[in-house]
Chain A
Amino acid sequence: GDSVTQMEGPVTLSEEAFLTINCTYTATGYPSLFWYVQYPGEGLQLLLKATKADDKGSNKGFEATYRKETTSFHLEKGSVQVSDSAVYFCALPLGANSKLTFGKGITLSVRP
């Protein structure tokens, strides 16, 4: 059935390190793809999105490319900062009702 899978966490990096968070999905058709971020004590915020194959979403130095061949939407950032410490959720609308379905989320901790 339709699903979204994120890599297991947590992830701890040093400041200025390169970040990759994997996300793959199984879905009918070509849904829009989203990354949401949740900072400590806050709700979720849309980080970036892509609406069709080969689209690249970008925001705050983060990027993700919609890869239909591999059904993936991996999140990357070239140089992370302490302020990027948060939980990151991959999400897409799935199922007959196009319900926004989240991956399990991954906690990123960036140390100075």
Chain B
Amino acid sequence: DAMVIQNPRYQVTQFGKPVTLSCSQTLNHNVMYWYQQKSSQAPKLLFHYYDKDFNNEADTPDNFQSRRPNTSFCFLDIRSPGLGDAAMYLCATSRAFLEPQHFGDGTRLSIL
């Protein structure tokens, strides 16, 4: 089945230690998104790629970066995680901006 896969499902890192979350898709979609979701809240968009074009949301901290080396893969890098960055991180894809988004199961990030 075509899908969006996030690895790992659970990630623990230390305060200030860089961490990378990964996302891959077999849908061949043009757009890939990264969301942050905290407990009992709606997902908050961090940034997205349309093909290789990167778009950062205005309120996304500089601590968060992303890479998309090819159509299938997208990475979320957190350079110096703080306690407030503990959350579920969701990757999503869509064929185009107004098309429905397909989500992975997320990576739950814990900060020690």
Contact = CB atoms under 8 A, between A and B. Distances in A.
Interface in B80-94: 90, 92
B106 A104 contact: no
A36 B92 CA distance: 13
Contacts of A34: 100
Main secondary structure of the interface of B (DSSP, over half): loop
A46 B100 contact: yes
A36 B100 CA distance: 10
Given A32-B98, A98-B98, A104 B90 contact: no
Interface string B1-25: 0001010000000000000000000
Chain B interface category by residue count: 10 to 19
B90 A43 contact: yes
Interface stretch (B37-45, B60-68, B71-79): B37-45
A73 interface: no
Nearest to A42: B105
Interface string A12-26: 000000000000000
Contacts, number: 44
A41 B100 CA distance: 21
A36 B4 CA distance: 16
Contacts of A99: 45
> Which of B42, B90, B92, B100 gathers most chain A CB within 10 Å?
B42
Nearest to B33: A100
B97 A46 contact: no
Nearest to B101: A100
B42 A104 contact: yes
Nearest to A32: B98
6 contacts: A31-B98, A49-B100, A100-B101, A102-B43, A104-B42, A107-B40
